[in-house]
Structure 1
Amino acid sequence: MGTLAIGPLFLAGHSRGGKLSVLAAAAFSAASTIPAGSPIWLPAEPVAVATGTDFQQQQEQEQQLSFVSGIILLDPADGSFEPQDPNQYPSALAALQNHPSLADVPVLIVGARRGGDCVPRAKNYEAFFKACRGQCTRVTLQDAGHLQFLDQSDSLQQSICAVGRGLSNSRVAAVSGRLAAAFIHKVAGGGPVMATAGPLPPAESGGSSKTGRRGVSCSSSNALERLYEEQLREAGVRYEVQVSGCSEGVKG
């Protein structure tokens, strides 16, 4: 059988697709520790990643799989309101918090502030951000609803999940896509993600800068920070940005 050539690999998903992206990232990272030449069996169903490429069934890997380069979560949900058996429905939050290889995987989380009627608070984008142990950035779209990341939703879905407040689906999709593109561009280019993960203002003259994880200044200002802020402002959305390990976020 042919080999599976992998360059920079990004996983992305919306709602429970975000949950699956985290679980898949953990699976890929675990597979990367298997010696070269060992058979790697991929899921029977095609798995969609950031590029939309479908993986063929039961590919045999002759080289080591690379670690996942990054994860993009669009208003992720770890489950529904009713209790679920963890043996049948493994938690992405637990994987994100406890899987050692995910601690170094950059994560971009774009959350919908008005998504609480569809996603339990204990399993929503905030929970994913809190579970993240490494290089995570959370961008909250203050007026977006959970289903606005989709091209369209029917009347039944809209009656269950809150729609955006003065914010169209197309605008939510556009700003999310731009943020994801900036994230992928920086990560694939090998730049320092923690130092460039969000639109944080420079430290005021005479003030002290806050420091986040891995000793990175939370008040650093650089190209990707400016790019994130530019995308959000151009889209005309109200937002909040928080970088993991930093006590203060940025609102706009």
Structure 2
Amino acid sequence: HHMSGLVAHAARARGLTPRSRVRSSRRHHCAVRASSSPSSSAPSSREVGRDDAADDDGVALTRFDGGARASTSDVSEDTDANESLAMHSLRGAVHRRAVLASVVLASGVGDGAWLGERQASASAGPDYALPGPYRVRALPQLEHTCSKCFPMCVGLSCLSRIRVFVPKADVEPDALFPVIGKKTPSTTRTSASEALRYASEPPYPVAIITPGFLIDGESYSSIARRLCSWGYVVVMYTKTESVAGGTLDDEVSAAILGDLISWVDSDVTIGPYANPDQVYLIGHSRGGKISMLQALRDERVKAIALLDPVDNTVYAPLGPGFPSALAAMKANPARVPPLVVVGGVYGGECAPSGSNYEEFFAAAPRGVAAKGHDAWGFSCGAGHFDFIDEATFVQKVICPDGSMDPSVTRDLCAALVVAHGERVLRPDESSDAETLERTLGSLRSQFTDRGVAFDSVHKLK
């Protein structure tokens, strides 16, 4: 209802002609606001890869901006930094900073070592701004009908198209042919403790991404791949809706989401990989509201991430079937899972003030009610549809552009979504503040190498 109202508004205002956009300069500016301490800088890298239902090889773990491929296994922990630098230089034209960052990661000394901001430590922790240690396997497209949702929805309106990414660990030679009669974990990651941490086998935590209004679920594949590479079964789904009619209200949509959680456990293909008692909900736009509504009533949900979320608006007012997630959060603070919110300052009418990410962050519980993890809040120079892989013509017409490249927005979201999930579901020795500092530091380094300003980091209060 919110988006269809915006479509009508845009059509009347523009005669179905997209607004001309003149930019004096493509400012790559990201004012990131965080609810924790300012960050340090850290290494740079981009995720690339392929995933095919018939191909289990998944994605390459690391690719530098210059195009040379490498993984942290290319450099041993005992290799001298200069030798490592020379080795990587032979692989292609690579930014000096990206190479040095890779050497630091591979040798397990952490991002602060090469920046001189803190003492090097082998236990600095993983870099969640980089792809994780798992390969990504895409399962064939699936379908599921919410039988429990009748009579709230009927027939095809209860049907969802589903795409699932499943993590696949690399098989070490020692695992196939044990030297001492048992499997040994890989030692090619940041440290031996890190290898032990990610040597676990299924089941993995389940992450479910709920799309915005009339957005295809696979529009979030880049974020889904990154999350899967860190050991999550990631479910993307698309409900059967259309702007011409047949849209589902928020209560029905939340019921479909809850049924999907149960279905993941019972499905013969996904069930063996998934832990349905460790659920991580991620939602964009209206999907953020739906995710929160379900999280408040489902004890299986342990963490939640909201990407430019939208509550009730003039186009989707409060009413039967359309409750306010913000009001529900304030009424039940103890039920709100640990939360991260990322919002775009150019949301415009698509994510209007008073119903957007700022209000969701303000409604997050503090202290004891936060379950040991205070909410993280961030904003950046993104438009409402910069959070998806590719916006449609209509989406570009009705919602303003951001000031930074959409790929930068997605990289920011992917890193923060992973870091939040790990701090809640698989915490290491790092505090929440250290995890956030490490992640933002790595992002800053990546953005600097790509010519993107990342100068100001502020707390969202």
What TM-score range do you get, normalising by the shorter chain? 0.5 to 0.7
| CA distance in structure 1 between the partners assigned to 2:408 and 2:293 by the alignment | 29
2:290 matched to which residue of 1?
20
1:164 matched to 2:376? The reply is: no
1:55 matched to which residue of 2?
none
1:225 matched to 2:457? The reply is: no
1:70 matched to 2:303? The reply is: yes
Higher relative contact order (CA closer than 8 Å, sequence separation 6+): 2
2:157 matched to which residue of 1?
none
Residues 107 and 241 (structure 1 numbering): CA distance in 2 closer, same or farther, change over 3 Å?
A: farther
Contact 2:283/2:305 (8 A) holds in 1: yes
Matches within 5 A, 1:48-87: 66=300, 68-82=301-315, 84-87=317-320
Q: Write out per-residue CA displacement over residues 6-55 of structure 1, whole angstroms, 9 at most, x where no aligned residue.
A: 242100010000001101101213xxxxxxxxxxxxxxxxxxxxxxxxxx
TM-score, structure 1 as length reference: 0.63
- Return 5+ residue gaps in structure 2 as ranges: 1-261, 267-274
Residues 16 and 179 (structure 1 numbering): CA distance in 2 closer, same or farther, change over 3 Å?
A: same
TM-score, structure 2 as length reference: 0.36
2:459 matched to which residue of 1?
242
1:96 maps to a residue whose letter is M
- Return 5+ residue gaps in structure 1 as ranges: 30-65, 198-221, 248-252
Matches within 5 A, 1:94-109: 94-103=327-336, 105-109=337-341
Contact 2:346/2:382 (8 A) holds in 1: yes
Work out which of the two has the higher radius of gyration on C-alpha atoms and give 1 or 2: 2
Q: Give 1:190 shift.
A: 3.7
- Please tell me the root mean square deviation across aligned C-alpha atoms, in Å: 2.6
| CA distance in structure 1 between the partners assigned to 2:359 and 2:418 by the alignment | 24
Contact 1:140/1:240 (8 A) holds in 2: no
**What is the count of residue pairs matched by the alignment?**
179
Q: Give 1:137 shift.
A: 1.1
2:306 maps to a residue whose letter is L
Contact 1:16/1:78 (8 A) holds in 2: yes
Matches within 5 A, 1:31-180: 66=300, 68-82=301-315, 84-103=317-336, 105-133=337-365, 134=370, 135-141=374-380, 143-165=381-403, 167-180=404-417
Percent identity of paired positions between Structure 1 and Structure 2: 31
2:307 maps to a residue whose letter is L
Q: Secondary structure at the match of 1:151?
A: coil
Contact 2:419/2:435 (8 A) holds in 1: no
Structure 1, 71-80 or 82-91: larger mean CA deviation: 82-91
Runs of 4 or more above 6 Å deviation: none
Residues 139 and 85 (structure 1 numbering): CA distance in 2 closer, same or farther, change over 3 Å?
A: closer
